[in-house]
Amino acid sequence: MLAPLPDRVDVVVVGAGFAGLATAAACRAAGASVAVLEARDRVGGRVWSRDVGAARLDLGGQWIGPGQHRLEALTRRLGVATFPTYATGAKLLDDGRRTRRYKGTIPSLGPLELIETHLALRRLDRMMAKVSARDPASSPDAAALDAMTVADYARRLRSRRARGLFDVALGAIFGAEAAEMSLLWFLAYLRAGGGLMALSEIEGGAQERRFVGGAQGVADRWAAELGDAIVLGAPVRRVVWRDGEVVVHGERGAIAARRVVIAVPPPLAARIELDPAGPARRDQLVQRAAMGAIVKVIVAYERPFWRERELSGEVVSLGGPASVVFDNCSHDLRQPALLAFVQAEAARRWTAAPDDAGPVLDQLARYFGDEARRPVTIATADWAAEPWSRGCPVAVMAPRALTSTGTTLREPVGPIHFAGTETAVEWTGYIEGALESGERAAREVIRAL
């Protein structure tokens, strides 16, 4: 039998992803009573680990990199070990015509393409340095940058392959295409995470290490500390707020609270009815935040045959259907695996005709040989089809959203506060950003109690 909900607490948190857990832990530590209402039957949200063959592997967020201090400290405190992402051997670039090996960060381009790519990256770094991650709309030239999409910027790249590589990097980081994103928002996002190269790389970058037993282990252990405060299978539908009091209505009943923190992705937050409705400006902003689309395909094998050929398993493909491939073996090699990302438009096509991994296996066989056609099992997560995420890894902002609404996703509405990685000013879009946002929301709430 399900435990009854408390009638009243100091703080209700909606969502038990890393942002909701961080909010709840900080409120609890400050002496507040807390209830966390989570729609799914598990915690972790966009971080989700599942048994795939002989190991528990990640179908959602899975990497931790330098500079993600909160996540690093939490992982250490909870006793979850990490291990380096496999990056030994040559990488492959499939430019849609032929596939070649390369080493280093930027794939084997011709000398002019390389110069063009380096110049474009340096220019992006210079532009990014002028943009505020906390309040992008206050940056110099904000209106002009916000009126452009990232595609307007990418048009400067004349080489087909350099542009293709840029698009692949965007798809992997955002699950979205250059034409969907405000250039201003993109620069703020890069600023929050240390630049495009830091977000794209394995060694020294955001893909540097993985979690032994899967990233959800961190959320599970944290949730265990919060105990009964976490209520699973409890979607929230409506928040009624009056001066000094909130009532949160969900499928498991209603709870009264002094404050509520909504820690879900912006498009899903917009589906929770506020009574009375929040300010139109916030709603207009949220309407312009759209989730990216990624299908993560883990293909498990008997043997890591690519390693035997001195290949790292990493592929960048301009041909598709998967745009990026990584080695995804378990830390102890008990379960060898490759991981293929189908992203942006290709992911949306997948959602329309789901679960056909055949073209991905054909693609892997082209890179690694026929053995790639004989997996022991395949696990797939189509994040756009997940009712409580509706896309991933992050919501991207359309042009003119930030400057025309003149507000941020973080602004509270009366006693209603907002967390979630999209509201972060450090590592927006990442687990680290979710943690930062939860700590910030908890500070707001505790000040107000």
In the region spanning residues 226 to 265, those forming contacts with ligand FAD, defined by CB under 6 A, are 235-236, 263-265
Quick check: 389 binds ligand FAD (CB under 6 A)?
A: yes
For ligand FAD, which residue of 5, 10, 17, 442 counts as binding (CB under 6 A)?
Answer: 17
Count of other CB atoms within 10 angstroms of residue 356: 11
Quick check: 436 binds ligand FAD (CB under 6 A)?
A: no
Question: Bridge partners of 46?
Answer: none
CB nearer ligand FAD, residue 120 or residue 199: 199
Quick check: 393 binds ligand FAD (CB under 6 A)?
A: yes
Dist. CA 331–CA 75, nearest whole Å: 16
The residues, any chain, with a CB within 8 Å of residue 270's CB and separated by 6 or more, are 283, 286, 287
C-alpha angle 318/319/324, rounded to 5°? 60
What is the pattern of x (binds ligand FAD, CB under 6 A) and - over residues 62-81?
A: xx------------------
Cβ at position 423, least distance to ligand FAD in Å: 8
Tokens of 306: 């690519």
For residue 393, whether the previous peptide bond is cis, meaning omega lies within 30 degrees of 0, is yes
Stretch that binds ligand FAD, among 104-112, 163-171, 197-205, 424-432 (CB under 6 A): 424-432
Bridge-based pairing of strands 253-262 and 416-418 is parallel
> Which parts of 75-191 are beta strand (E)?
82-84, 90-94, 99-102
Quick check: 340 binds ligand FAD (CB under 6 A)?
A: no
Quick check: 19 binds ligand FAD (CB under 6 A)?
A: yes
CB nearer ligand FAD, residue 183 or residue 392: 392
Alpha-carbon distances, residue 292 vs 167, 318, 388 (angstroms)? 14, 19, 14
Q: What are the start-end ranges of the H helices in 201-327?
A: 216-226, 266-269, 280-287, 305-308
CB nearer ligand FAD, residue 161 or residue 410: 410
DSSP SS3 for 418: strand
For tokens 């381009």, the residue is 109
Count of other CB atoms within 10 angstroms of residue 135: 15
Phi–psi pair at 169, nearest 5 degrees: -60, -40
In the region spanning residues 92 to 111, those forming contacts with ligand FAD, defined by CB under 6 A, are none
- Do 317 and 363 contact (CB within 8 A), yes or no? yes
Stretch that binds ligand FAD, among 79-87, 96-104, 179-187, 383-391 (CB under 6 A): 383-391
Quick check: 344 binds ligand FAD (CB under 6 A)?
A: no
Quick check: 217 binds ligand FAD (CB under 6 A)?
A: no
Cβ at position 156, least distance to ligand FAD in Å: 28
CB nearer ligand FAD, residue 95 or residue 432: 432
Quick check: 16 binds ligand FAD (CB under 6 A)?
A: yes
Dist. CA 109–CA 135, nearest whole Å: 37
The residues, any chain, with a CB within 8 Å of residue 256's CB and separated by 6 or more, are 7, 8, 9, 245, 246, 247, 248
Quick check: 434 binds ligand FAD (CB under 6 A)?
A: yes
Quick check: 431 binds ligand FAD (CB under 6 A)?
A: yes
What is the pattern of x (binds ligand FAD, CB under 6 A) and - over residues 22-51?
A: ---------------xxxx----xxx----
Quick check: 60 binds ligand FAD (CB under 6 A)?
A: yes
> For binding to ligand FAD (CB under 6 A), which residues are involved?
14-20, 37-40, 45-47, 60-63, 235-236, 263-265, 268, 272, 294, 296, 383, 388-389, 392-393, 420-421, 429-432, 434
